[in-house]
Structure 1
Amino acid sequence: MEERTFFEQGNVKVTNARFVSDGQTYAMSNVTSVKPFEKKPPRALGIILVLVGLGVMVGANTLLGLLVLGVGLAILFVIKPVYHVLLATSAGETRALMTKDREYLNQVVHAVNEAMIHRG
């Protein structure tokens, strides 16, 4: 059977025979399922800095409080979740790809699903 490509962008390639990501190759014949996974960023530091900034603004130094508040808000809004492609095989689950782009992740997951269907 001829190898058919379902997705190829950068260092990621999905065919009916293999899934290549960051130099690692996974045989599609061993993949039993694929799913997206979202790892949310830790937000505790940002929340703590916002609260401390508000406290400093009210209590002592408005300028310092605004600075700490701004840093806390920046942390909360700048840090993005990380998305993974999880491949399930008989050996367990593997995080095969990591990205911060949800749409890109969805395209790869869709391509792996299509490759599995094509494989039969």
Structure 2
Amino acid sequence: METTITQPQQETVFFQDANVTVTQSRFISGGQTFAMRNISSVSNFHIKKSRAGAILLLMLGILMLFSEATRGMGIALALAGGVWLYFTKDSYAVRINSNSAEANGFVAKDRDYIQKILDAVNEAMVFRG
């Protein structure tokens, strides 16, 4: 009797860096692994950060500038609100849709980076057929 040993199929890698790996059968991000066969679609999901607190602080600081008694505090509050507003950035996510749920597969502030990952996942889905 002859024994046949088959070599495991080599996975095609569509995208790989320190944070994310996309192959023909898996999407790996951080501690999460998604099987490509369970993914029905992916999309770029925009996560808007609230700027209300920063705007409120900035406006309060500006209003305090009109009174000489509160001008110093107004400058500090206006600067703090302006800096807070400047550093508040929206995030983007690779939104994974499967038969059972939706999940954010990976979140980052760089929309182009998320788009590269989405393109790789779409390529992997097409490759699987």
TM-score scaled to structure 1, two decimals? 0.94
**What residue in structure 2 maps to residue 117 of structure 1?**
126
CA distance in 2 between partners of 1:73 and 1:103 (Å): 26
Of 40, 46, 49, which residue of structure 2 is paired with 1:38?
Answer: 46
Of 22, 26, 36, which residue of structure 2 is paired with 1:28?
Answer: 36
Question: Are residue 107 (structure 1) and residue 116 (structure 2) matched?
Answer: yes
Give every structure 1 segment of 4 or more consecutive aligned residues whose post-TM-superposition deviation is greater than 6 Å: none
CA distance in 1 between partners of 2:58 and 2:103 (Å): 37
Deviations along 1:71-105, whole A, 9 cap, x unmatched?
11111111111211111110121111111221111
Whether the 8 Å CA contact 1:35–1:86 is kept in 2: the answer is yes
Q: Map residues 73-92 of structure 1 onto 2, 5 A cutoff.
A: 73-92=82-101
**What residue in structure 1 maps to residue 5 of structure 2?**
none
CA distance in 2 between partners of 1:71 and 1:11 (Å): 33
Q: Which amino acid aligns with 1:78?
A: F
Q: Map residues 46-57 of structure 1 onto 2, 5 A cutoff.
A: 46-57=54-65
CA distance in 2 between partners of 1:65 and 1:91 (Å): 51
Q: Which amino acid aligns with 2:15?
A: F
TM-score scaled to structure 2, two decimals? 0.87
**What residue in structure 1 maps to residue 17 of structure 2?**
9
Structure 1 vs Structure 2: percent identity of aligned residues?
38
User: Gaps spanning 5+ residues in structure 2: where?
Assistant: 1-8
CA distance in 1 between partners of 2:49 and 2:13 (Å): 33
Q: Which amino acid aligns with 2:56?
A: I
User: Gaps spanning 5+ residues in structure 1: where?
Assistant: none
> Over alpha carbons, which structure has the higher Rg?
2
